[in-house]
Each structure stands twice: as structure tokens, then as C-alpha cells.
Amino acid sequence: MKVISYNHNGTHGVGVMVDDPSEPGGFVSLSKAAPDLPHDLRAILEIDPGLDRVRAAAEGKPADMVTSDVTFDPLIREPHAIWALALNYTLHIEETGLTTSREYPQIFLRMPISQVGHEEALWAPGLKIAEAYDYEGELAVIIGKPGRHIKRENAFDHVAGYSCYNEGSVREYQSQNRQFGLGKNFERSGSFGPWLVTPDEFGDPADHTLVTRLNGIERQRAKISGMLFDVQHLICYLSEGYTLQPGDVIVSGSPGALPLRPGEKPETPRGPVVVEGQLHMRAGDVCEVEIDGLGTLSNPVIEDPTPL
């Protein structure tokens, strides 16, 4: 099952995609199919962590809306927590030359205003603010059932589904001091979607491959099995400290960059960390994060329109 969060003429809703080749983009809107459910995916997960009521409500129903008539919201609009992973793929650790613990994951937080939905515009900071605005294609894990001190063998029971994430990062700010802080949290700098795919359909994340494309050209390609700390480990680790909440998001880290193609020039270094294959996102670009079995998260990039 694929679940979307959308905005239709200013009203937020949740829908279930219908797999019907004769009507691409068709979905069942839960506001009609299940009017008793909240109109927000996090609020649904709080009362229906396994999405059983959502599945039952949509089952067998024809599409009553199409995605071209709505805009995509970030899959969870306002999660209680958005955890993100630094340096969780070996190649990315090597290419940055940075040190990280091999024993404990390196974790920081993002806030809701820093993310947009599928096909919505990402904001590249004005060039007077920062120039090194970078994509990071990542797998996002969405928590359903709450839990504390979760054992590895039960970790997947707490997952409501998976999605794609572009963990867009402003490098100058990220490297201003020791904690990433604002550099990972610029307004509309990241994206989250297009939809949640349930675990019965997706299977083990480690069996999948992640690809990031900038303007159609592959810039990242990695097996998700290459994570230093896998999804189960991250769930267990976080649950040592708090009760994972429905709708919480774990953004599981960016793989390394592919080499530049012949004739391509690397970016001018703008900080202590230089990754040769990493290109910046600029106004006019389109960035895609694709994971097989999940689909493709695609976003155009515009310059942050806020007056300085």
C-alpha cells in the first residue's frame, strides 16, 4: 500500500494510491473513504499504527482523486521528531575524510519547516547567504507503533513504512561550528516523499538500492545494505533514550558521491570538507531520489524568494 499526504485547495488530506494503469496518479481520499479518521498521517498513525483501518477503508475502492489535482505535502507534515544520520555509509565516511564512531550512530535533528513534499520547490539559499547547497539522497523510515528499549528482533514491528528523503544541506552553515544546527535546517531545504510504502510491499530495506540524480544525471548510487548502522540498529538505539512516537522519522544517512564524468569540473571548495563528486543544487535544477520499490522523489530547485 502507498499512502500520500496532500493539500487540495488549502485542505490537508491523506490518500491511498490506486494501482490502475488506466488512471495514473489516481488515489482514494480518506476524507471520503474514512471520514472518521484524522486528516493528517501522523494523527492517523497515533490511532492506527499499522495502518489497518486505512487499508480496510481503501480496499477495493476506485480512485476518486488524482495527484495532478493536488500538491504533495511532506509525507509527515509535523513529526514529533525527525532524526537524521551523519556518516552512515562507508564510502561517504572515506570521501569526507571525517572521523565517526564505528560503535554508535552519529545523530542530529531536522525540523518540519526544513522539508517540503514531492514536486514542491526546494529553496536554494541566495548566493549572498551560502553557495554550497547539497543534495543527500536517503531512505526515510516512518515509525508506527511506539516503543522503548526495542529488541533487534522486534524492530521492524515498529515501522509503519518507508519513503525517500532529500536531506538537503547548507555546507557553509553546517561547518560553522561543531554541531550541524542551522546548516541542516534551512527553510524548504529538504524533501520527503512521494509516499509511504508499507513494509509488506517493501520488504527488508537492505535489499534495495538508492539512486540520486541531479538534472537526470546519476550522482549517487548505493545499496542500502552498505549502511554502517542498519534500520533495525537505529530503531533499537533511539529507543534506549525515549519512547519512539507514531510518525517519527529516521532519515538513515547519505551514501557517497559517484565520480564526476569525464570533462566535468569539481565545485570550488567552500569549507573544510571537499567531496569531489558532490555538486551543489542551484536554482533551475531538478533533483531526484529514487529507491527501487519506493519510487522517485523529485523536486525542482528555486532561489529562496525571501527578501534579504
Binding site for its own copies (CB under 8 A): 78, 80-81, 83, 86, 98-101, 103-114, 125, 129, 148-149, 170, 173, 176-183, 185-187, 237-238, 240-243, 245, 306-308
Tell me whether the omega of the peptide bond preceding residue 194 falls within 30 degrees of 0, making it cis: yes
Q: Which is nearer to its own copies, 10 or 104 (CB)?
A: 104
**Minimum separation from the CB atom of position 195 to its own copies (A):** 24
**Minimum separation from the CB atom of position 285 to its own copies (A):** 20
Q: Which is nearer to its own copies, 113 or 206 (CB)?
A: 113
Residues 171 and 281: their CA atoms lie apart, in Å, by 12
Residues 97 and 296: their CA atoms lie apart, in Å, by 30
Intra-chain end-to-end CA distance of the chain, in Å: 43
**Minimum separation from the CB atom of position 81 to its own copies (A):** 4
**Minimum separation from the CB atom of position 153 to its own copies (A):** 16
Residues present in the chain in total: 308
Q: Which helix (H) or strand (E) holds 303?
A: strand 295-303
Q: Which is nearer to its own copies, 78 or 303 (CB)?
A: 78
**Minimum separation from the CB atom of position 270 to its own copies (A):** 15
Q: Which is nearer to its own copies, 27 or 133 (CB)?
A: 133
Question: Are 116 and 299 a contacting pair, CB within 8 Å?
Answer: yes
Residues 21 and 25: their CA atoms lie apart, in Å, by 9
Q: Which is nearer to its own copies, 175 or 296 (CB)?
A: 175
Please name which of 191, 162, 173, 160 lies closest in space to residue 287, comparing C-alpha atoms. Answer: 191
